[in-house]
Structure 1
Amino acid sequence: MNDRAIERIRLVSGHVASRGASASEDDGCGPLAAAPASSLMASALGASNFPQCSTAAAFPEAKHDTLFFDDFLQPEEKAVRHRVRAVMEREVAPVIAGYWERAEFPFQLVPKLREMNVGGLFFKDHCSTGVSLMSGFMAVVEMARVDTSISTFLMVHGMLAGITIALFGSEEQKRELVPKMSNLDLIGCWALTEPDQGSDASALTTMATRVPGGWQLNGRKRWIGNATFADVAVIWARNAESGQVNAFLVRKGTPGYHTKKIENKIALRCVQNADIHLDNVFVPDSARLPGVHSFRETGKILAISRIAVGWQPVGIAAGVYDMCLRYLKQRRQFGTQLASFQLAQEKLSRMLGNIQAMWLMSWRLTKLQEEGRMTHGTASMVKAWNTLRCRETVALGRELLGGNGIVTDFHVAKAFCDLEAIYTYEGTYDINALVAAREATGISAVKAAAR
């Protein structure tokens, strides 16, 4: 190593030390010493590679609520929001990027997630740890702000599988499963989508045939989150006798029930999506959900989940904005902060406006649901619009970080990829737009070719 190289290393080392000593604390960009203890090691390791900027291991302070939407929330809802934010920043942010890179689920974080006390999202009427509808959605936002995979894991578990059992299960099924699922002692998945039926979910072909003592299930499911490790799966299948859609509980290890992880994803890499093969799977009569008689019940679950998926982009965009704001204040080029440049400020302003608009639309939709006035069209409109605006927001964030916008160290690249899954699942942007327009016009364009 020549003298010039040694001198450059000395200068960089000195710059790192001076940043740690002089960074201001009143702009959300304070020294790494102010970070949570569990994230100090990860932050210190990142500092050598990024001498000017803090990585997402020490997640930035929340600065996105410029219209003070927190004032709209009840005390319980605020408490849930801030409790979830604290756990996500302290326990998840320091380690989640590594799991995302390896496409692994962070099982050792599950005990920490219990601290958030939201495993039983929307179970308020069925167990002591349940929370209100708005409280549950605040948890969704705060989880998605730090990591969308964790948010999706708990939504699939509680909001899809759990609420299906809570609403349509027998009293015995609810007594056995809901408390355990609420405490994350038992994990659920929800299997509707099939390889040949994506957006046309009501055309499912998985069959349930009556046999002595129960039912025999045959078919295939795809894109089922949590499926590789879930203890219980809610399987949607067509009753061979009536032709109507029914729902069944299949336990892990049941003969003929096989799962295979879907590899090579670019989004939600921690979520263990899987193909499910059902080959002559026998379930007893007690495994059928007695409250499900047709696809109408499926639609009720999808309507609620669509609200939650509309909240996810709010959290994703908020996390990207918070990260970009801190980064632009810390990063210097041409002798000044990136935050001082006009183009950077315009992008930040647009991102911030998108977040406020998304928040307000989702908040109003939730209130309509609580009042019994929400429609499928309005839920689809909000989900479509929010994911579209979030897509713009994360793209702006990626631009603002330049080259660092394509590495996961600064969160934005991971959020950029994860949003693509949100844009697609629970109804693609296009399908949701058509559902909203069908309600507005009274004319269906979804199956126009079939008319």
Structure 2
Amino acid sequence: MSLFNSVSQLRNILKDIDLAAITRLSKKVDLNQLMGVVSKMSEEDLGKMLKFMQAGSGKKKAPPVVNGDFYELTDTLLPEEKLIQLKVREFMETEIKPIANHYWNNAQFPMHIIPLMAKLNICGLTYKGYGCAGMSALLEGFIAMEMARIDSSISTFFGVHSGLAMGSIYLCGSEEQKQYWLPIMQRMDIIGAFGLTEPEVGSGVAGGLTTTCKRNGDEWVINGQKKWIGNATFSDITIIWARDLDDNQVKGFIVRKENPGFKAEKMQDKMALRTVQNAKITLTECIVPESDRLQNANSFKDTANVLRMTRAGVAWQAVGCGRGAYELALKYTMERKQFGRPIAGFQLVQDLLVTMLGDLTAMQTMVFRLSQLQDSGVLTDEHASLAKVFCTLRMRSIVDHARELFGGNGILLEYDIARFVADAEAIYSYEGTKEINSLIVGRAITGESAFV
């Protein structure tokens, strides 16, 4: 390496350095003397110095964009679907994210967001007619994921209203009931809830509802209790499922909040989904007119049709919760510095991040196919149950790893991840526990029922 080349290279490197930095350097070092020293260096030493200086003189490379959609499944959406998905993402980022921790911590629901959410025009997205858009289950899944990616409580609120309550009327209501209720629920002029689970009956609802109903002329009398009923502290209507004392079959009812004998009490001291307003409902000689009985709900099989559809949505919620946790953790590791560098540059951290991304991507591809089956009209109970089992298990693992990467900060609400860890526990349990959903799949693959 000639003196001319070495000095020339050094000057080129110095040209790339900020002028203010050169000025500061000149106050500490005689640059002409420095050039003289350089000219006397061996080629080996000069090469090492130039390599070191070239590495430090270039502009810092921008970090990668934080994105949990590693296989770019969003790109499969149609252009009009992508617009809706992005609209929901903007809503969650701008309206929900800044207030999520406050309302979660205070166990309150932000009622002011309901008219804002109504403007998104996404309730009953997959239903045909009645003011609904009749769009794909795939888009509906992406929306559930986008909501849970920021706040699982808001995703749950929406799923109860749009999926469970509206879905019960859409699948089990008469034409007259659908014409009346679905348009106003689609506009979110009224809010719905769904009452199936009971204080002493969770997994055994198919064969043992203790809430009963009995017809008396043109009215029904309902007695019993329901527990864990989301939205029910402020909902206008609640779909109540009860066992008919005359034929022992499960019936469904649209119970209005002003119906005589209906009482909803807020459940206190939850550790998960604290923004969701769960209620314990007591029905004491509750009078419901025959016109508010779901005319096409005549057995638990009809109830199961609703659950099959919404269970797929819960699998998507698990994906959203996992994705939100992964993206929070990835961003944190790129910003958090220890030993003079971002912790994202350490091997053990990268190993955890890749494990999380692998789980997340597997979940995403599973629910993607699940929604395809739903759009094709061939979705079965076991399809939905397998996705619910797998996705909630992997979600738990992801939020666990994310919490680990945050260290002590992971238990502080201000870093968000603590809320994701807690909310994951509720998603893991509701819409059928792991064990019950496993038995649904086990029955399908073996031909043997192991429920009792």
TM bin (shorter chain): 0.7 to 0.9
Aligned pairs for 1:352-363 (under 5 A) are 352-363=357-368
Secondary structure of residue in 1 paired with 2:263: strand
State the AA in 1 paired with 2:179.
R
Choose from 255, 261, 267 the match for 1:256: 261
- Going from structure 1 to structure 2, the CA distance change for 1:199 and 1:141 (only over 3 Å counts) comes to same
Instruction: Give 1:376 shift.
Output: 1.3
Asked if the contact 2:255–2:288 (Cα under 8 Å) also holds between the matched residues in 1, the reply is yes
Choose from 406, 428, 434 the match for 1:429: 434
Q: What's 2:50 paired with?
A: none
Secondary structure of residue in 2 paired with 1:235: strand
Q: What's 2:343 paired with?
A: 338
Aligned pairs for 1:149-164 (under 5 A) are 149-164=153-168
Aligned pairs for 1:223-234 (under 5 A) are 223-234=228-239
Choose from 137, 147, 161 the match for 2:141: 137
Secondary structure of residue in 2 paired with 1:387: helix
Q: What's 1:321 paired with?
A: 326
**1:356-398 CA-partner distances (Å, limit 9, x unpaired):** 1000101111111222322211211111010001100000000
Q: Does 1:290 align with 2:290?
A: no
Q: Does 1:76 align with 2:80?
A: yes
Asked if the contact 1:120–1:131 (Cα under 8 Å) also holds between the matched residues in 2, the reply is no
Secondary structure of residue in 2 paired with 1:401: helix
**1:83-135 CA-partner distances (Å, limit 9, x unpaired):** 11110001100011000000101111112212322123433333244543222
- 2 CA distance for matches of 1:115 and 1:62? 28
Asked if the contact 2:325–2:417 (Cα under 8 Å) also holds between the matched residues in 1, the reply is yes
- 2 CA distance for matches of 1:441 and 1:295? 23
Aligned pairs for 1:183-262 (under 5 A) are 183-202=187-206, 203-262=208-267
Which protein shows a greater Rg? 2
- 1 CA distance for matches of 2:128 and 2:328? 34
Secondary structure of residue in 2 paired with 1:103: coil
**Percent of residue pairs identical:** 44
Q: What's 1:380 paired with?
A: 385
State the AA in 2 paired with 1:440.
I
Normalising by structure 2, what TM-score? 0.84
Aligned pairs for 1:272-291 (under 5 A) are 272-291=277-296
Q: Does 1:66 align with 2:70?
A: yes
- 1 CA distance for matches of 2:423 and 2:338? 29
Q: What's 1:102 paired with?
A: 106
**1:9-49 CA-partner distances (Å, limit 9, x unpaired):** xxxxxxxxxxxxxxx89537xxxxxxxxxxxxxxxxxxxxx
Unaligned regions of 5+ residues in structure 1, if any? 1-23, 29-60
Q: Does 1:119 align with 2:155?
A: no
Instruction: Give 1:351 shift.
Output: 0.8
| CA root-mean-square deviation | 1.6
- 2 CA distance for matches of 1:65 and 1:368? 21
- 2 CA distance for matches of 1:172 and 1:78? 34
Q: What's 2:408 paired with?
A: 403
Asked if the contact 1:232–1:250 (Cα under 8 Å) also holds between the matched residues in 2, the reply is yes
Which stretch of structure 1 is more off in the superposition, 164-173 or 270-279?
164-173
State the AA in 1 paired with 2:142.
M
Instruction: Give 1:153 shift.
Output: 0.3
- Going from structure 1 to structure 2, the CA distance change for 1:62 and 1:126 (only over 3 Å counts) comes to farther
- 2 CA distance for matches of 1:255 and 1:306? 32
- Going from structure 1 to structure 2, the CA distance change for 1:124 and 1:86 (only over 3 Å counts) comes to farther
Which stretch of structure 1 is more off in the superposition, 76-85 or 411-420?
76-85
Runs (4+) off by over 4 Å: none
Q: What's 2:170 paired with?
A: 166
State the AA in 2 paired with 1:168.
C
Instruction: Give 1:213 shift.
Output: 2.2
Asked if the contact 1:207–1:237 (Cα under 8 Å) also holds between the matched residues in 2, the reply is yes
Asked if the contact 1:123–1:182 (Cα under 8 Å) also holds between the matched residues in 2, the reply is no
State the AA in 1 paired with 2:320.
G
Which stretch of structure 1 is more off in the superposition, 146-155 or 63-72?
63-72
Q: What's 1:27 paired with?
A: 63
Asked if the contact 1:126–1:166 (Cα under 8 Å) also holds between the matched residues in 2, the reply is no
Instruction: Give 1:288 shift.
Output: 0.6
Choose from 366, 375, 383 the match for 1:370: 375
Asked if the contact 1:120–1:183 (Cα under 8 Å) also holds between the matched residues in 2, the reply is no
Instruction: Give 1:72 shift.
Output: 2.1
State the AA in 2 paired with 1:352.
L
- Going from structure 1 to structure 2, the CA distance change for 1:391 and 1:192 (only over 3 Å counts) comes to same
Secondary structure of residue in 1 paired with 2:304: helix
Secondary structure of residue in 1 paired with 2:239: strand
Q: Does 1:438 align with 2:449?
A: no
Instruction: Give 1:62 shift.
Output: 5.2
Asked if the contact 2:220–2:289 (Cα under 8 Å) also holds between the matched residues in 1, the reply is yes
- 1 CA distance for matches of 2:131 and 2:66? 31
- Going from structure 1 to structure 2, the CA distance change for 1:406 and 1:209 (only over 3 Å counts) comes to same
Asked if the contact 1:213–1:285 (Cα under 8 Å) also holds between the matched residues in 2, the reply is yes
Which stretch of structure 1 is more off in the superposition, 135-144 or 106-115?
106-115
Unaligned regions of 5+ residues in structure 2, if any? 1-59
Secondary structure of residue in 1 paired with 2:226: strand
- 2 CA distance for matches of 1:27 and 1:214? 65
State the AA in 1 paired with 2:68.
H
Number of residue pairs the alignment of both structures matches: 393
Asked if the contact 1:122–1:159 (Cα under 8 Å) also holds between the matched residues in 2, the reply is no
- 2 CA distance for matches of 1:318 and 1:407? 19
- 2 CA distance for matches of 1:115 and 1:347? 39
Asked if the contact 2:137–2:372 (Cα under 8 Å) also holds between the matched residues in 1, the reply is no
